[in-house]
Structure 1
Amino acid sequence: MNRSPAPLPELTELERSIYEWQMWIADFGEHGQRKLKNASVLISRAGGVGGLVAFQLAAAGFGRLVIAHAGNVRHSDLNRQLLMTDDAVGKPRIESIQRTLRALNPRMDLVAVNANIGPDNVEELIAQVDLVVDCAPLFPERFAMNEQCVAQKKPLVECAMYELEAQLTTIIPGESPCLRCLYPDPPANWTRQFPVFGAVAGSIACLAAVEAIKIVAGIGDPLVGRMLRCDLRSMEFRTLQIKRRSACACCGHLKSNNER
C-alpha cells in the first residue's frame, strides 16, 4: 500500500519575511521554500568551498545542515575558509562553523561533527540526510561518500577546484555517472595542499549551492549527466556531456529508469 508523503512544514510569518524575495521566483514560490525547510543536507568539509556552500544554504532557509570538518583553524585557512576568523586560530574549526552559521540562521537545525568523513561514519551520516554536497579535498573521502550515495540512492553534488579552475556535476545514482565513473582510481599527482584563491573556491561553492536548491525544490535543470568546467583565468565556462561506465565497480550494477 502506497502512503502519501508527509506534509511539508508550514512557514512562520518571520520566515515569510526573511525569504520573501526568493519566493518571488516564479517556479519556486512558498512551496519551494517549504521544501527547503523540510530538507536535510550533509556538507563534507566547510572550508574554502564547503564553508560558502553551508553559508548559502543556511541563508536560503534549509531546515537541517549536517557538517563534518575536523581540525583546528590555521592562519593559512583565513584566505578562503570564510566561516573561520582570526581570533579562532588554534581552536576547532567546527566551533567557528557553528558560531558563524548560527549567527546567520538560528532557526535551522545544525549538526556539527568534529571529524572528517571516513569509513567509520560515512554510512550513518548519509543515512540522516536527503542530499550530500561533497567539498572534500581528498579522494578517499570523496570515494567513500560516492559509494554510500550510490548504495543509499541519495543525490550527490560533486564540486572541486584547483588554482583558477573549478568543476561541478550532480550525481543521481543510476541516472548519471558516479565519481568512480569519472575517476576509477585516485589521480596519482593529487595532494592535500594545492594553490587556491578564496574567490575561486567561493565561486564554485555558490554554484554548488544553487544545484542543491534546484534539486530539493525541483526547479531548473541540474547538472545530471553534465559537468560544468570553469576557467576563471580566461572566464571561460563549458558544459560537457559525461556518461556512465557500464563496467564501473561502484554504480555499474544499477539500472536506469529507462532499463526498468
Structure 2
Amino acid sequence: MKLTEDQITRYSRHILLKEVGGKGQQKLLNGRVLIIGAGGLGAPIALYLAAAGVGTIGIADADNVDLSNLQRQVIHFTPDIGKPKVLSAREKMIAINPELNVVTYDTWVTAENIAGMIAEYDFVIDGTDNFAAKFLINDACVLAGKPYSHGGILQFDGQTMTVLPGQSPCYRCIFPEPPPKDAIPTCSQAGVIGVLPGVLGTLQATEAIKYLLGAGDLLTGRLLTYSALRMKFREIPIKQSAKCPICGEHPSISELKDEVDALTVCDLGH
C-alpha cells in the first residue's frame, strides 16, 4: 500500500532520512507496539510513537489519573483527573494522529493475561512502576520470544536496556530475582524529578522505532544509566548469564507467575 499525500506530508521529515524513507515509514504504519504503563514513562513513549506513525499501539494500565501524576505524566491534563489513564492517553494519541489504531487495556498485567496480551504485538515496552511487573514482563517476553525495552527511574536517576530473547541478555541476567521488600524506597517516599521519565521514555520509544525499521544499533548487551543531577550517561556492558533462571543454560523458570511480594519501586504508572 502506497502512502497517501497527507501521509507523505505528515511524515515528510522521516521520509527524508535515508534510514527511513517511504518504505521505512510504511514499516512503522504496519508496526504494532504494546506499552505497559500509562504513567511517567508511558506518557512520552505513547506521544512519540503516535507522532511517528506506529500504526497499532496498545496501552495497558488499570489506574485513574490523579493530581499528583501531573508533575511528570505529560499525556494527562488537569481535566483528566479521575479518568482511566488508558482512555486519557488514547485521546491525546488520537488527537496527534487520527489514523492510529490505539488499543486500550484497562487492567493490570498479570501472569494470567500477559501472554495473550503481548502475542498481538511486535515489540513491548515496560513503563511500569514495580518489580513484580518488571520481572513478569521480562519472563513473558523471554518465554514468548518477544523483544522489549526495559526502563526504570527514581529520584534523579534512570536506566534502560533492550532485550532480544535468544540473542541478548535479559533483565534476570542482571537481577536474578526481586530485591527484598523495603530495600529500595518508592518515589512516593524518595521523590522523582518530573523531567526524568521524559528522557528515559523517549529513549525507549526510539528503541521501538529502530526495531520496527531494522535500523541502527539497539541497546542490547548494554545497560544505559542516566543521572540528571550530573547530566551524565553511562553504558554498562552486560553479558548473558549462564546461571540466568530463565535464559541460562539450566533455566528454572518455565511458566509465568506473579511476584506477589515484590515491592513498588516508583510511581511511574500510578
2:164 alignment partner, one of 172, 188, 193: 172
Residue ranges of structure 2 left out of the alignment (5+ in a row):
251-270
Contact 2:15/2:21 (8 A) holds in 1: yes
Contact 2:151/2:160 (8 A) holds in 1: yes
**Structure 2 residue 221 is matched with structure 1 residue 225:** yes
For 2:185 and 2:14, locate their aligned partners in 1 and report how far apart those are by CA, in whole Å. Answer: 39
Distance change in 2, residues 1:206/1:236 (3 Å): same
Equivalent position SS for 1:206: helix
Equivalent position SS for 1:223: coil
**Structure 2 residue 85 is matched with structure 1 residue 93:** yes
Instruction: Describe the superposition over 1:81-133 as per-residue Cα deviations: whole angstroms up to 9, x where unpaired.
Output: 11111112122222211111111111011001111211121001110100001
Distance change in 2, residues 1:15/1:250 (3 Å): same
For 2:54 and 2:249, locate their aligned partners in 1 and report how far apart those are by CA, in whole Å. Answer: 33
Contact 2:155/2:187 (8 A) holds in 1: no
Equivalent position SS for 1:221: coil
Contact 1:175/1:225 (8 A) holds in 2: no
Higher RCO (CA 8 Å, separation ≥ 6 residues): 2
Contact 2:64/2:83 (8 A) holds in 1: yes
**More displaced 10-residue stretch of structure 1: 84-93 or 66-75:** 84-93
Which residue number corresponds to residue 58 of structure 2?
66
For 1:192 and 1:107, locate their aligned partners in 2 and report how far apart those are by CA, in whole Å. Answer: 38
For 2:54 and 2:2, locate their aligned partners in 1 and report how far apart those are by CA, in whole Å. Answer: 13
**Structure 2 residue 99 is matched with structure 1 residue 107:** yes
**Structure 2 residue 239 is matched with structure 1 residue 238:** no
Which residue number corresponds to residue 204 of structure 1?
200
Contact 2:30/2:55 (8 A) holds in 1: yes
- Which letter does structure 1 place at the counterpart of 2:227? D
Contact 2:34/2:124 (8 A) holds in 1: yes
Equivalent position SS for 2:226: strand
Report how far residue 185 of structure 1 moved. 1.4
1:129-168 equivalences under 5 Å are: 129-168=121-160
Equivalent position SS for 2:104: strand
Report how far residue 191 of structure 1 moved. 5.2
1:46 alignment partner, one of 38, 60, 74: 38
Report how far residue 253 of structure 1 moved. 4.6
- Which letter does structure 2 place at the counterpart of 1:54? A
For 1:94 and 1:214, locate their aligned partners in 2 and report how far apart those are by CA, in whole Å. Answer: 25
Report how far residue 145 of structure 1 moved. 1.3
**Structure 2 residue 124 is matched with structure 1 residue 128:** no
Contact 2:154/2:187 (8 A) holds in 1: no
Contact 1:137/1:192 (8 A) holds in 2: no
- Which letter does structure 2 place at the counterpart of 1:233? L
Q: Runs of 4 or more off by more than 3 Å in structure 1?
A: 190-194
Identity of aligned residues (%): 37
Give the number of equivalent residue pairs: 247
Instruction: Describe the superposition over 1:164-217 as per-residue Cα deviations: whole angstroms up to 9, x where unpaired.
Output: 111111101111111111111112224554411221110111111111111110
Instruction: Describe the superposition over 1:210-239 as per-residue Cα deviations: whole angstroms up to 9, x where unpaired.
Output: 111111101111111111111111111111
- Which letter does structure 2 place at the counterpart of 1:175? Q
For 2:2 and 2:235, locate their aligned partners in 1 and report how far apart those are by CA, in whole Å. Answer: 37
- Which letter does structure 1 place at the counterpart of 2:84? P
